Amino acid sequence: MERITIIGFGAYGASIGLGLKKARLSNTEIVGSGRERRVLNAADKMGAIDRVVGGLASAVEGASLIILDTSITETKELLEVIGQRASQGCVVTDLGTSKSLVIQWAGEYLPEGVSYVGGHPLLKSSAVALEEASPTLFEGADYCIVASDASNQTSIRTVVNMAETLGAKPLFMDAEEHDSYAIAMNYLPMLLSSAFVTATSGSEGWRDMHRLAASEFNLVSQLAGTDPQDIESACLANPDDVVHWIDQMITELYAYRSQITERSDNLLDTFIKAWEARAKWEADAVLEDDSTKVPSASESMATVFLGETLLRRYQQMTRGEDKSRSPWTYFRRN
């Protein structure tokens, strides 16, 4: 019987377990291991694994696929143990946002015959807690596949097959490209959130200001609640990329500052540009197909295509207006 071992359980790891169990893989056992017994028992109870294996070494031995749902701070130590215990032909993959450093560690600790292939599922909606796990969590989502020079075709195919079994769409990237983009998309928001909190809470008026901190403050500050060690590790793992994107952000903020100071006529256009870019992303229309038309036969079809938020905006824009206008083009109110 083949063994798939999942180490560490957040929403992603548990969802992979649930998805693989739903697929009813023949002659395959899914086991779970990790430091928190309570979390492992919860994953077992929800049916994400067949059984819990307490010792990491025992969980790793005999596994054909090992999936790491752990922070970057734990990965190095885990790869060292896996390298000592994994069987020939074993494939190791992870779910994190840093790949270049993990590839380096894999080359250092994994023996010949044990391959590492990076994985990074991309979800638009947040799923962190174990209770948010679902066998359909990855359906329709892009799933980054990041191979190293040492990855063979068989190991790459193993991770691709897993992603496709979960209903995800494999997206191949090299490690440097992936990490630079991941810093911009995943960690720059955390840095901005942290800077926002330190800037406001460090103000002399914070004792009074904090009483005005409501839903907007909560929305922007949430990412500052990410484990500080994880953010630090990601920043120090890719410092050049982090500094590049911080510099880009500083440049952009200064441009906003200048337009506000000068009461520029372009300020509204700047905000519209941001609104439209996000609307395109939300509607999966960044790579726009000119032949694609917004369904107008029924509201239910439009909801499926646009989502509730953009559907409402679309209805507002087209009420008495040109119905050919796309929902990611801002409607100026005169």
Distance between CA 322 and CA 301 in Å, rounded? 20
The first and second tokens of residue 207, run together, are 């004792």
pLDDT for the residue numbered 291: 42
How distant, in Å, are the alpha carbons of 34, 68, 70 from that of 54? 7, 15, 16
Q: Where are the beta strands (DSSP E) in the chain?
A: 2-7, 28-33, 51-52, 63-68, 91-94, 115-122, 142-147, 169-172
Nearest-CA neighbor of 144 among 190, 113, 179?
A: 179
pLDDT in tens, 42-86: 999 999 999 999 889 999 999 999 999 998 889 999 999 999 999
Higher pLDDT, 47 or 127: 47
Q: How far is CA 12 from the centre of its chain?
A: 10
pLDDT in tens, 12-24: 999 999 999 999 9
- Domain ranges (residues) in the chain: 2-173
Q: Is the pLDDT of residue 299 over 50?
A: no
pLDDT for the residue numbered 312: 56
Sign of the C-alpha dihedral computed for residues 145, 149, 151 and 157 taken in this order:
positive
pLDDT in tens, 204-244: 999 999 999 999 999 999 999 988 988 898 888 889 999 99
CATH superfamily membership of 2-173: NAD(P)-binding Rossmann-like Domain (3.40.50.720)
pLDDT band at 297 (very low <50, low <70, confident <90, very high): very low
**What percent of the chain has pLDDT above 70?**
88
**pTM flag (> 0.85):** no
Pairing of strands 169-172, 142-147: parallel
How distant, in Å, are the alpha carbons of 291, 309, 327 from that of 313? 21, 7, 7
Q: What is the CA radius of gyration of the chain?
A: 23
pLDDT for the residue numbered 113: 93
pLDDT for the residue numbered 301: 41
pLDDT for the residue numbered 334: 63
Residues with Cβ within 8 Å of residue 148, at least 6 apart in sequence: 103, 106, 107, 116, 117, 118, 175
